[in-house]
Amino acid sequence: MFNSIKIKIIIWCLAIFSIVFAGLEIFLYYELEGVAVEFVDEHIRSEVDIMSGILRIEKRHGQLETELVELSLAAKGKYGQKFSGRYYQIVSVEGKILASSPSLSAGQTLPILPATLEGLFYTIEGPNANPLRLISKSVDFGGLVLIFQVADSLTNTYRLVNSFRTIVLIIYPAVFLICALGIFFMTKWAMRPIDMFTAKISHITDKNLYERVDEKHVPLELRDLTLSFNTMLSRLEQPFERKKKFLSDASHELRTPTSVIKSYCDVMLSRERDGDVYKDALTKIGVTVNRMTELINRILVISRIDSNSSELRLVRLGVRPLIDDVFRLVGQAASEKGVSLRMEDGPDVVIRADRESLFEVFTNLIENAVKYNRDGGRVDVRIASFDGFCEVSVEDTGMGIDEEDLENIFKRFYRTDASRGLTVGSGLGLSIVNAIVNAHGGRIVVESEKGKGSRFKVFFPINTIA
């Protein structure tokens, strides 16, 4: 479940929402409490200023003591009601209570706390265990310093703050649920292009690799993915098409020898024949079987190269001794046709390569140079090294290759019209050569002129040179 992008987005969004919302609520809670307490502080400060102002006036008239008595007896409003939650008392610097509000019952006083000219604020527990906010402020009356203490109940303030907290605790789950549903549906809506993309690519198989996902109608975030996917399909389509064509061509090439074998068998079994006739038929069947075996072996080589199951065993080897071995192999066929094999003098080049594979490469090239050569012709091999490359050139004096055939000769089962009547072959030789050279990181090029001959050049890059 936690591997789902949708679930991860929902969890992260809800986690961020919870942290932000909870932090905002805590901030507002303490901010509201601070504002409410500050409002109470302003109120009791103003009460102190009013009482000190009245006493200052009375002192100038010599009525300070009388006014203190009146403040203890004649208070009106909340200060006159017992346990109203509003209290005051005036204390001398010696700690003697000079006046107190009638709301304080007999024997009850406010705690005498340190005071300053600016006033100090305290949160205390008052009568009936009610929370109070108290200010303790010193006032100088021309040498006479009195301490004014005024307290106001915090019950309503705490009730307001607690109401806010209760409302938040009720609203929070509802808001959380609404946000969760909103995030779920928004995420589902936002992920629809991915679902559509998934549905589209799920219908693409090896039967319809030609289909592509439309890059113009996908969101910007999926455009690069779509482009990469379409590029991957293009890369896959080419080998699939080559493999289909290869299987079709291989089936076609194998159909001919199997038909020949079946025909000879049917004819020979139709009635009794002389021993020489049977011997001749078996000889022709053997030749056909050899051709089919060679074709199957070449098909297996191509399959191993395509599947990368054929690992190259790279060793240090000299190119010149390898060509000498090839000359010895094809020498008999060249002599029968009167074709001379020549290798130009020069230093040997040592490379790192798979000997068996390179032997296959040069055998194919030199055999072809002999097959398609004219009687009494010549095959020249030149080995050179320059600019970090090893070049092996195989040139013949044969019939040459038509210009329109040059770009196709490395394709599988491809044979030129001119070559079909001269020799029996599978059309796989040059495609195997090309595949082996590519596997070594090299390349092969061909130059040809009709009626004058052809030149095949094989190049090996510097990273294969010992």
Contact 259, 230 (CB under 8 A): no
Query: What are 8's two structure tokens?
Result: 């991860």
Q: Return d(Cα 91, Cα 443) in angstroms, integer.
A: 109
Q: Which residues pair with 381 in a beta bridge?
A: 343, 394
Do 295 and 328 sit in the same domain of this protein? no
Do 344 and 415 sit in the same domain of this protein? yes
Place of tokens 């061509």: 249
Torsion of CA 276, 281, 282, 286, to 10 degrees: 140
For residues 332-348, give the mean pLDDT.
87
Q: Return d(Cα 399, Cα 372) in angstroms, integer.
A: 6
Do 37 and 124 sit in the same domain of this protein? yes
Query: What are 429's two structure tokens?
Result: 């030789």
**Where is the domain boundary, 254, 273, 306?**
306
Q: pLDDT tens digits, residue range 31-83?
A: 888 999 999 999 989 988 888 888 888 877 777 777 777 777 665 666 767 76
Q: pLDDT tens digits, residue range 148-190?
A: 999 998 888 888 888 988 888 888 888 888 888 888 888 888 7
In 3-state terms, what secondary structure has residue 72? helix
Give the pLDDT score at 268: 75
Element (H, E) at 335: helix 319-337
pLDDT higher at 131 or 412:
131
pLDDT band per the 50, 70, 90 thresholds, residue 466:
very low
Q: Return d(Cα 223, Cα 219) in angstroms, integer.
A: 6
pLDDT higher at 129 or 426:
129
39 occurs within a structural domain: yes
Do 148 and 60 sit in the same domain of this protein? yes
Contact 429, 298 (CB under 8 A): yes
**Where is the domain boundary, 117, 146, 161?**
161
Element (H, E) at 449: strand 443-449
Q: Return d(Cα 368, Cα 361) in angstroms, integer.
A: 11
259 occurs within a structural domain: yes
Do 58 and 94 sit in the same domain of this protein? yes
- In the predicted model, what is the mean pLDDT of the chain? 80
Place of tokens 């509802």: 174
Do 289 and 334 sit in the same domain of this protein? no
In 3-state terms, what secondary structure has residue 91? strand
Q: 293, 289, 302: which is closest to 239 by C-alpha?
A: 302
Do 285 and 150 sit in the same domain of this protein? no
169 occurs within a structural domain: no
- Residue 361 has a CB neighbour count (10 Å cut-off) of 28
pLDDT band per the 50, 70, 90 thresholds, residue 137:
very high
Query: What are 93's two structure tokens?
Result: 């610097």
Q: Check which CATH number belongs to the domain holding 257 and give it.
A: 1.10.287.130
Element (H, E) at 270: helix 220-270
175 occurs within a structural domain: no
On the question of pLDDT at 464 being above 50, the answer is: no
Give the pLDDT score at 74: 60
Q: Return d(Cα 257, Cα 295) in angstroms, integer.
A: 10
Do 345 and 435 sit in the same domain of this protein? yes
Kindly list the distances between the CA atom of residue 126 and the CA atoms of 75, 99, 109, 119, 311, in Å, as whole numbers in the listed order.
Answer: 19, 18, 9, 19, 94
Element (H, E) at 218: none
Do 295 and 318 sit in the same domain of this protein? no
Least confident segment among 317-326, 352-361, 415-424, 453-462: 415-424
414 occurs within a structural domain: yes
Q: Return d(Cα 238, Cα 245) in angstroms, integer.
A: 11
Q: How many CA atoms lie within 13 A of 278 on its CB side?
A: 7
Do 10 and 135 sit in the same domain of this protein? yes
Q: pLDDT tens digits, residue range 263-277?
A: 778 777 777 777 777
Place of tokens 């190119």: 319
> What share of the chain in percent tops pLDDT 70?
85
DSSP 105: P
Do 437 and 398 sit in the same domain of this protein? yes
Q: Which domain holds residue 21?
A: 5-161
200 occurs within a structural domain: no
Measured in whole angstroms, the distance separating CA 466 from the mean position of its chain's CA atoms is 40
For residues 16-44, give the mean pLDDT.
88
Q: Which string of b and e fits 85-123 if b means at least 16 CB within 10 Å? A: bbbbbbbeeeeebbbbbbbbeeeeebeeeebeeebebee
116 occurs within a structural domain: yes
For residues 368-394, give the mean pLDDT.
87
On the question of pLDDT at 438 being above 80, the answer is: yes
Contact 383, 391 (CB under 8 A): yes
**Where is the domain boundary, 290, 306, 322?**
306
pLDDT band per the 50, 70, 90 thresholds, residue 203:
confident
Q: Check which CATH number belongs to the domain holding 351 and give it.
A: 3.30.565.10
Give the pLDDT score at 259: 78
In 3-state terms, what secondary structure has residue 152? strand
Q: Which residues pair with 392 in a beta bridge?
A: 383, 458
297 occurs within a structural domain: yes
DSSP 150: E
**Listing from the earlier edge strand, what are the strands of the sheet with 131-140?**
97-100, 86-92, 145-153, 131-140, 120-125
Residues 6+ apart with CB under 8 A from 347: 385
Phi, psi (deg, nearest 5) at residue 352: -105, 120
Do 274 and 320 sit in the same domain of this protein? no
Query: What are 128's two structure tokens?
Result: 């009936």
Domains held by the chain: number? 3
On the question of pLDDT at 240 being above 80, the answer is: no
Pairing of strands 340-343, 378-386: parallel
Q: pLDDT tens digits, residue range 80-123?
A: 677 677 888 888 888 888 888 888 876 788 888 898 888 899 99
Helical H segments across 78-219, by residue range: 155-190, 192-202
Phi, psi (deg, nearest 5) at residue 311: -85, 140
Q: Check which CATH number belongs to the domain holding 138 and give it.
A: 3.30.450.20
On the question of pLDDT at 18 being above 80, the answer is: yes
E-strand ranges in 309-400 read 314-318, 340-343, 350-354, 378-386, 389-396
pLDDT higher at 412 or 98:
98
Query: What are 261's two structure tokens?
Result: 């074998």
For residues 352-378, give the mean pLDDT.
88
